Structure 1
Amino acid sequence: MLVHEDEPFNAEPTPKVLGRSTLTPINAFYSRNHGPIPTIDHDKWRLVVDGLVDTPLELSLADLKSQFEIHEVVATLQCAGNRRAGFLAVADIPGEDPWQGGAIGTAVWAGARLVDVLAAAGLADDSADLHVDFSAPDVSELATPPQAYGSSIPLSKAMQTEVLLAWRMNGRDLPRVHGAPVRVVAPAYIGARSVKWIDRISVQTTPSDNYFQATAYRILAPSADPDQAGPGDGISLGPWALNSEILTPTDDGSVPAGAVAVTGYAVAPEHRRVVRVEVSADEGATWHDALLDEQPSPWTWVHWRTNLDLDPGNRTLVARAWDDTGTQQPQEAASLWNPKGYGNTAWPTKTIHVDQERGT
């Protein structure tokens, strides 16, 4: 793991590790935290469900496991700051971790469907323009004053069957670092909405007013001062956009001349799918189609791969993806740069050195 911070703990896997399998091993799954990882007694943990519901609930972990049908969803989670390092060539982003392309991972999540829990609480009006607010006990010094983490998703998303309250990950009990005893899994939304260590769910008329939704995780204008940004400034992030990354060869790596394997991943927005990935070794003058691996579910990334015949010298590899609406990734990171470094969906590039000796 490439550790960006020890406290709070923020780390991502290396590109080679991330590309080894479609499912990301637990010990290679990225970790994004805003404060110290809480220690929670699973026997004493309770989940409160309240707000605009007819029958507020207080559920133990045993209640959650016994009263609701267990479902599995194979889903990719992705941090809003994934690929932030690609913005640094445009301008510095002080105070933010320089995530490369590894703030993303795919796992088999198991738990109760959020919609089932809301139904048990007697959701008053599932057709209204409401929001489902999540609260957790981890306190962050990043907020002023410090506060526990919170976030929300629209009720329209919360009612979808892919949204889970998960207590298992890749067939094992959810690890503490990934949100045990229970976390939200909201596929195709930025990872900040998949709240870890959740202890309260409230149905309400407005989005969360927590710092991490009202002020953070918002795309500010390039000229804005993030230290002066207040609640409601900028564009609130929720569903993610079309994106891709080159995993191998790695940046500044050396490969023998000849057939060079190029691999990576791509993700599409909610209710869309990746249908094409192209790779160039001459900065976009010519392009080669990549082979797309099988997608495990509608809520995951797609791994892709191709072979390029490369002569000796320095090369810049470039990739770009399309989804099934014909949308393509934007070309330049400069057109997307923002002072918090969110949402870098520009064409990924890797500079490599091709050695004289040809591979076999």
Structure 2
Amino acid sequence: EPKSRADDPVPGLPEYSADDVARHATKEDRIWVSYKSGVYDVTDFVDQHPGGDNILLGAGGGIDPFWNLYAVHKTPEILGMLEGFRIGNLKASDVGAATAGIDDPYATDPRRHPALKPASVKPFNAEPPLTILADNYKTPNELFYVRNHLPVPDVDPEDYVLEVEGIDGESQVLTLEDIKTKFEKVTITSVVQCAGNRRSELNKVKKVKGLEWGPCAIGNATWSGARLIDVLHHLGMDTDDPRIEHVVFDGLDLDPTGNPYGASVPAHKALNPKADVILAYEMNGEPLPRDHGFPIRAIVPGVVGARNVKWLGSIRLSAEESSSFWQQNDYKGFCPSTDWDTVDFKSAPAIQELPITSVVCSPTEGSTVKLKENKLPVKGYAWSGGGRRVVRVDVSADGGQTWVPAQLHSEDDTLHKAWGWTLWQVDLEVPPGTTELQVVCKAVDSSYNAQPENAEGVWNLRGVLNNAWHRVRVKVQAEEGGASKHKIQ
């Protein structure tokens, strides 16, 4: 871990003990925390920093164990911001006490395929290489992108129980064996995509907060399990009760205070028999891998990955949306001019269905290509949320001046329940003598939604929902006897 200013005492600042810090646990007393050798008054930090409420978990104590868990947030920028609130040094004998005797919470995480490119290690978040993503209609389990918010639970299938709570608060439980044997096993093909897919392109416009995802935080798989609606009806729950507005899912992945990752989906989606929401226990015909939710994962087709809750521990029929941080204060989109000083997360709805997107998987950015009879083979993927089928992908070799429709491949034959993605390919004509070109793709779905031309128009401070035209600049290998050189912008 890189050394930070918090590692050392700052000369000239007063010294405080852990007991001193403990006396400041509320806004009335000013909120103090310690981190490594520093003592900080974070009362104002809470209001100024995204997710600042999380730091309240350590109010009056050391935040070291929380930041070890949320290691993705331990960036130089945030550490530097925290130093601006430093008021003193922690007594030497108290330094390290907050994490004494605490094992690495990520020590039992599963092994991962070496081809996965990590965006963060603790928690583990990674995507596969772009060059192989469009090679398979079904993304292999070991190469499916991984998005974890917390350590991966190590669940014993023999001990697993799923708690299901009705609108009146009555609660029942099911074992893994119950879910596998008491309900019809159904199989669907569905994309799971992170809201931050293609965030790195937004970072080039202006810095955003979040993992540096490329265009591979997406995958397509078959999921097998029990229909959510079948499970609820088996338990005698009236899914037509007008009080039910949301279905809340909580995982078994816990933060240090025991709070789980949680999310919710509107009832009109989750409880619609035609929406194919399932409690999945298989992925591509195999038991769910641990990184993807073993033993049970909620699969909500057409909806952002953040609501497809892994390691499912409980389901609750509710009049209210999930109160979890990830539902209320994350995974929302904002105006490009909204910044961290003006953002109001309560003003925006939680992301559910994702917009139409497409990506060039081959050739890749900066690569050198060799033409065959002045043609460049291009391939990629396209997908739209909400089950809207991709009806067209337009591809350009001249930066978007002229377009050629691509050949599409999908195993979905309906316009409005197309949960899986569409792979596409096209051979583009390239003028003789071209030395550089820009390949661009844009897709259209069955509702005729189209992609915006540039990332500037969809930029937002969290770096989510980037579905701008995907652009790839490549060099063309010179051929003997070729015509005069020119570039296509």
Please say whether Structure 1 and Structure 2 have the same fold, judged by a TM-score greater than 0.5: yes
Partner of 1:263: 379
Q: How many residues align?
A: 354
**Aligned pairs (5 A) from 1:56-205:** 56-94=171-209, 96-126=210-240, 128=242, 130-140=245-255, 147-161=259-273, 162-205=276-319
Instruction: Give the direction of change, closer, same or farther, for the CA distance of 1:231–1:85 in structure 2 (3 Å limit).
Output: closer
Two-structure CA RMSD over aligned residues (Å) = 1.9
In structure 1, distance between residues paired with 2:349 and 2:316: 23
Cα deviation for residue 55 of structure 1 reads 6.1
Contact 2:382–2:390 at 8 Å: present in 1 too? yes
In structure 1, distance between residues paired with 2:423 and 2:331: 27
Partner of 1:279: 395
Partner of 1:354: 476
Q: Normalization by structure 2: what TM-score?
A: 0.69
Equivalent AA in structure 1 for residue 346 of structure 2: G
In structure 1, distance between residues paired with 2:163 and 2:295: 14
Contact 2:454–2:469 at 8 Å: present in 1 too? yes
Equivalent AA in structure 1 for residue 460 of structure 2: N
Cα deviation for residue 3 of structure 1 reads 1.2
SS of 1:192's equivalent? helix
In structure 2, distance between residues paired with 1:9 and 1:230: 29
Equivalent AA in structure 1 for residue 178 of structure 2: D
Contact 2:162–2:313 at 8 Å: present in 1 too? yes
Instruction: Give the direction of change, closer, same or farther, for the CA distance of 1:173–1:271 in structure 2 (3 Å limit).
Output: closer
Instruction: Give the direction of change, closer, same or farther, for the CA distance of 1:228–1:137 in structure 2 (3 Å limit).
Output: farther
Cα deviation for residue 294 of structure 1 reads 2.9
In structure 2, distance between residues paired with 1:337 and 1:206: 30
Cα deviation for residue 230 of structure 1 reads 6.1
In structure 1, distance between residues paired with 2:385 and 2:316: 26
In structure 2, distance between residues paired with 1:294 and 1:14: 21
* Percent identity of paired positions between Structure 1 and Structure 2: 36
The structure having more radius of gyration, on CA atoms, is 2
Contact 2:166–2:237 at 8 Å: present in 1 too? no
Structure with a larger share of its residues in strand = 1
In structure 2, distance between residues paired with 1:317 and 1:245: 10
In structure 1, distance between residues paired with 2:226 and 2:239: 21
Between 1:58-67 and 1:321-330, the stretch displaced more is: 321-330
Q: 2:427 is matched with which residue: 286, 301, 307?
A: 307
Instruction: Give the direction of change, closer, same or farther, for the CA distance of 1:75–1:278 in structure 2 (3 Å limit).
Output: same
Instruction: Give the direction of change, closer, same or farther, for the CA distance of 1:157–1:352 in structure 2 (3 Å limit).
Output: same
Partner of 1:295: 411
Instruction: Give the direction of change, closer, same or farther, for the CA distance of 1:146–1:317 in structure 2 (3 Å limit).
Output: farther
In structure 1, distance between residues paired with 2:186 and 2:280: 9
Cα deviation for residue 329 of structure 1 reads 0.9
Cα deviation for residue 4 of structure 1 reads 0.9
Contact 2:332–2:345 at 8 Å: present in 1 too? no
Between 1:330-339 and 1:114-123, the stretch displaced more is: 114-123
1:62-101 CA-partner distances (Å, limit 9, x unpaired): 111111111111111111111111112210114x111111
In structure 1, distance between residues paired with 2:335 and 2:259: 26
Equivalent AA in structure 2 for residue 8 of structure 1: P
Equivalent AA in structure 2 for residue 153 of structure 1: V
Cα deviation for residue 124 of structure 1 reads 2.9
Cα deviation for residue 16 of structure 1 reads 1.4
Contact 1:126–1:155 at 8 Å: present in 2 too? no
SS of 2:204's equivalent? coil
1:126-156 CA-partner distances (Å, limit 9, x unpaired): 2525111001121248xxx883200011111
SS of 2:477's equivalent? strand
Contact 2:381–2:423 at 8 Å: present in 1 too? yes
In structure 1, distance between residues paired with 2:382 and 2:310: 25
Equivalent AA in structure 2 for residue 117 of structure 1: V
Contact 1:68–1:117 at 8 Å: present in 2 too? yes
Contact 2:365–2:474 at 8 Å: present in 1 too? yes
Contact 1:81–1:341 at 8 Å: present in 2 too? yes
1:274-310 CA-partner distances (Å, limit 9, x unpaired): 1111111111111111101133462111001001132
Partner of 1:325: 447
Instruction: Give the direction of change, closer, same or farther, for the CA distance of 1:204–1:300 in structure 2 (3 Å limit).
Output: same
2:129 equivalent to 1:7: no
SS of 1:118's equivalent? helix
Instruction: Give the direction of change, closer, same or farther, for the CA distance of 1:81–1:273 in structure 2 (3 Å limit).
Output: same
Contact 1:218–1:233 at 8 Å: present in 2 too? no
1:181-222 CA-partner distances (Å, limit 9, x unpaired): 100000100000000001100000011011010111111333
SS of 1:35's equivalent? coil
Instruction: Give the direction of change, closer, same or farther, for the CA distance of 1:299–1:271 in structure 2 (3 Å limit).
Output: closer
